[in-house]
Structures are given as C-alpha cells and as structure tokens.
Structure 1
Amino acid sequence: MEERTRAYLRGRFRDHYRRTEITPPPAANEREWGYIPWTDGPDTTMVRHRSLLELGDLSEFLVRKRPRHVYFSAGRFRDPGASSMHEKDWQSADLVFDLDADHLPSVTLGEDSYAEMLAKCKDALGRLLEFLEDDFAFENLEIVFSGGRGYHVHVRDENVLHLEREHRREIVDYVRGIGLEYDELIETETVAGLGRKTPTERRTLQIEGGWGTRIHDHFMAFIDELLAMEEDAALERLQEFDGIGEGKATATLNAARNNREGLEAG
C-alpha cells in the first residue's frame, strides 16, 4: 500500500473515531487490549499486552492513533498489561460464541452469495440464542457483528464468568449436541393391563424442556409436513429414511393421521 493511500485511510479512520461514540465492554480496565496500526510495507503488526491504563482515554486514543483494528480480550486479569498469561493472573472471562458463515454446514462456499451466507449465519444465531436463553436462562448477552463473516455472542452472566475451560466446553458440547444420546431423553414405563399376558414397555420422549422439547417440536413440524402431502408423496418421503420400507411408511403415516394426541404427548 502506498503511503499516500495509508495517509488517506488514516484520515478517514480518524474522522470515523471522532464522530463515533465508543462504548467499552464491562470491566474494560481488567481486559487486555490490542490494536493494528497503519504500518509501512505489506505486513501488519499487532500491538498487544496493553491495558486501558496504558492507552488512556479510549476515545482520545482512537482519534490519536487511528488504528486499523482494535481488540479487547474476553478474559479479565489482575494485570492485563503484563507480557505473559501467568503474570496477567486470570480472574474471569466472558463466555464467547463465534459464528462464522463459511464454517456452517448449511453454507456452500463458491455457490452462496455473501448475503446468502450472512442470512444463514443469522439463522444459526437465532437458534444459538434459543439455547442460551431457553435452556440456560442466560440474560446478560451482547451480540456483535464480527465485521466480516458472522457474529460473536458474549455471555456475561455472573454465574459463567468464573467457569473453568472444561465447564465452558460442556456448555458448547450441549449446544452442539455432542455426546447427546437419544435413549437418555426417553422415559420408559412398564404397562400391564386387561388381556395382556406379559407387561410391555411404553417409551415416551421427555418434552419438558431442553433437547427433548427441541426434538419434539421438529418432529411435530415434520408430521404436519407429511399430513399436508398427497399420500403417495408422504409415503415416498418416509421411505427416504434408512430402514423404512413401504410397510413401515404406511404404518407411520396412519399413526400420524390417527394418533396425533399421543404424538403430541411425546
């Protein structure tokens, strides 16, 4: 990049910082700050290990330095300006979810437009928020556009700030369904009655919340989709699943038509 171009961009960035009200994150003085200045040559340099005390007033710093990018850490430290993690002395951290459109399985790189990628990422964001708000009852959430491909969600509820790495991983695994066993969502009841020579088991999906409710809602939406189809199309749709032949497809469709109350109960 030519110096004339850099000078022009520095001026435009300064104008932006002058007219923009910057809202720092909570506990900004406990976070590490970093920034990328406008440097000569093709390479970029990250200035790290800065505390807000070293930067001074944030708005004045941005106008004065006009950095290309500015970052703050999710972690909070006793000495955020120290040069090593040990010296920084970790105290707590936001729980952060990073959604990148080009990492989503629903996105086809090279085919989806940028707008389509972001739309799919926004859909994934909505589903993530359902987990965080409905399943975990988190309330202190901040959603920010990452500046390119997706969104960041910062969870700052007090009861998550001090969680260790393995506990944070458990939350992420739950959201992603890693380790989810379907049988763990099933309640089994022994049923005996008139005319039965031997008791039998009734298996019911738990629908009081969590993954059970989410699976049940998806299942009932699929049932409604089937019932809206012509019979031949519905049977063909069911037989797309492994292990479902014509006989099982017919029985399943009849159950959907005649036993909706039972299906809605789980």
Structure 2
Amino acid sequence: MDDRTREYLAGRFGDYYRRVSLSPPPDANLREWGQIPWTPGTGTTMVRHQSLYDLGDLDTFFADNAPRHAYFSAARYDDPGASTMGKKGWRSADLVFDLDADHLPGVDPETTSYPEMLEACKQALYRLLDFLENDFAFEDLTIVFSGGRGYHVHVRDESVRELDSEARREVVDYVRAVDLDTDGLIRTVSDRGTTKRVLRTEGGWGARVHEALVEYAEDFREMDETAARERLMELDGIGQGRAGTILGAFERNPTAVREGNVEAGGPGVRR
C-alpha cells in the first residue's frame, strides 16, 4: 500500500470514528486491548498488552488514532495491561465460536461467490445457534460479522466464563458430534412382553436424530417409489431388497418411526 492510499484510508477511518459512539464489550476494563496502526511500509505492527486505562476514553482514542484494526480479548484479567500473559492473572473468558465460510464443507473459495459464501455461513450460524440456545440453554449471546467471510458468536453466560480449555473443547465437540456415542442415543424398552430399541427423544443428539429420522421417512413417503428406492440404494450396504423393506416400513408403520423405534424397517434404518 502506498503512502497516499494509507493516508487516505486513515483519514476515512478517522471520519467514521468521529461520527459514531462505540459499544464496548461487558467488563471492558478487564480485557486486553490490541490494535494495528497505519504504519508505513508493507508490514504490519501489532500493539498489544493494553488496558482500557492505557487507551483512555474509547471514542476519543479511536477518533484520534483511527487504527487499521482493533481487538479486545475474550478473557478477563486482573491486570490486562501486563506485559506478559503470565502476569495478567486470568479470571474468566467468553466462549467464542468463529465461523468462516471457506472452512465449511462444500464451499470452495475459488468457485463460490462472496454472497454465496456468506449465505452458507449464515445457514451454519443458524444451526450453531440452535445448538447453543436449545441444547445448552445459553442466553447471553452476541453475534458479530467477522469483517471477512463469516461470523463470531460470543457466549457470555455466567456458566461458561470459568470453564477450562478441556470443558470448552467438549462443548465444541458436542456441537460437531465428535466421538458421539451413537449407542448411547438408544435405549431398550419393554412393550407387552417384547423388547424394542428406541431413540432417546427427550433432548440432545437423540432428539435431533429422531427429528431427522421422522423428516427422512416423510420425504421418502412423498417420493415416487422408484426414485425413493434408487436414493436409498445410494447408501452403503442397502440393496434393492433392503430398500424395499425400509420403504414398506415407512409406509405401513409411520407411528413406529415417530416413536423413535429404530427396529422399524430393519437394520437398514439403523445405518
């Protein structure tokens, strides 16, 4: 970037910051702040280990300095302006999810347009919020555009603030179904002297799989039989005979599917 362009952009950033009043995050005085100023040359300089005390009034600081980028930490510290992480004194931290379109399955940055990438990321955001609000009952959520190709979700409920890194990883693994105990989603019940295996539909992944299975069955019931059979046969291990058995079960016994009976239709359904 040449000097003329840099000076122009710095001026426009300053114009913007002089027109607006910033909304700092909760506990802004406990967070570390960082910035990338408009330095000459091709490189960038990150200014870190600053506290709100170092910056002063945020509106005045941004209007006067108009940094190229600015950041605040997800964590809260006893001394956020300390020069090393070890001296800061960690107190707690938000749980932050970073969604980036070019990391999503089926999105190729080389062939996908920018609006299409944002739309794909928005759909992923809706799915994430469904997990956070319905499975974890989180309420204090802040959603912001990342400035590039995605979104950030900040979870600030009291219940997550002091979670260690392992517990935070477990939340992420749950959302992504990493090492999901599929056998644990099913329970055996007794019904008039016989036993059957049914999905746990009370909540969590059991309820999600059950909902998907019901929709799956309804989709097949509405399809032409030949098309439905061919679609089932695209799945590993399902031939023409098994596909016919599954479709017959979906048609004859939709109640069993709605009740979460994974035996309905035989082994093919359990796949």
Alignment TM-score, normalising by the size of structure 1:
0.95
- 5 Å-filtered alignment, 1:103-118, equals 103-118=103-118
Partner of 2:185: 185
Contact 1:106 1:120 (8 Å CA) reproduced: no
Partner of 2:169: 169
Correspondence 1:236 to 2:233: no
* 3-state SS of paired residue (2:76): strand
Correspondence 1:119 to 2:119: yes
| Corresponding residue to 2:254 among 241, 260, 266 | 260
Structure 1: gaps of 5 or more residues: 194-199
Correspondence 1:52 to 2:46: no
How many residue pairs align between the two structures? 260
Which range moves more in the overlay, 8-17 or 107-116? 107-116
* 3-state SS of paired residue (1:163): coil
Partner of 1:76: 76
Partner of 1:100: 100
Contact 1:188 1:201 (8 Å CA) reproduced: yes
Query: RMSD between aligned alpha carbons?
Result: 1.1
Contact 1:17 1:62 (8 Å CA) reproduced: yes
* CA distance in 1: counterparts of 2:99 and 2:38, whole angstroms: 28
Contact 1:10 1:66 (8 Å CA) reproduced: yes
Q: Deviations over 1:93-135 (max 9, x none)?
A: 0000000000011312322111111101000000000000000
* 3-state SS of paired residue (1:82): coil
Correspondence 1:212 to 2:206: yes
Partner of 1:196: none
Correspondence 1:222 to 2:240: no
* CA distance in 1: counterparts of 2:130 and 2:214, whole angstroms: 18
Instruction: Give, as a single letter, the amino acid of the residue that structure 2 aligns with 1:264.
Output: R
Q: Deviations over 1:152-174 (max 9, x none)?
A: 00000011101111111111111
* CA distance in 2: counterparts of 1:191 and 1:139, whole angstroms: 39
* CA distance in 1: counterparts of 2:74 and 2:203, whole angstroms: 30
* 3-state SS of paired residue (1:166): helix
* CA distance in 2: counterparts of 1:2 and 1:240, whole angstroms: 56
Contact 1:97 1:154 (8 Å CA) reproduced: yes
* CA distance in 2: counterparts of 1:42 and 1:61, whole angstroms: 24
* CA distance in 1: counterparts of 2:219 and 2:259, whole angstroms: 18
Deviation of 1:190 after TM superposition, in Å, equals 4.6
Contact 2:22 2:59 (8 Å CA) reproduced: yes
* CA distance in 2: counterparts of 1:219 and 1:119, whole angstroms: 26
Instruction: Give, as a single letter, the amino acid of the residue that structure 2 aligns with 1:251.
Output: T
* CA distance in 2: counterparts of 1:106 and 1:205, whole angstroms: 30
* CA distance in 1: counterparts of 2:4 and 2:192, whole angstroms: 86
Deviation of 1:206 after TM superposition, in Å, equals 0.9
Deviating 4+ runs (over 6 angstroms) = none
Alignment TM-score, normalising by the size of structure 2:
0.93
Partner of 2:128: 128
* CA distance in 1: counterparts of 2:111 and 2:2, whole angstroms: 34
* CA distance in 2: counterparts of 1:70 and 1:92, whole angstroms: 21
Which range moves more in the overlay, 103-112 or 33-42? 103-112
Partner of 2:26: 26
Partner of 1:140: 140
- How high is the sequence identity, in percent, across the aligned residues? 59
Deviation of 1:187 after TM superposition, in Å, equals 0.6
* CA distance in 1: counterparts of 2:96 and 2:113, whole angstroms: 27
Structure 2: gaps of 5 or more residues: 261-271
* CA distance in 2: counterparts of 1:116 and 1:9, whole angstroms: 28
* CA distance in 2: counterparts of 1:259 and 1:68, whole angstroms: 62
Instruction: Give, as a single letter, the amino acid of the residue that structure 1 aligns with 2:80.
Output: P
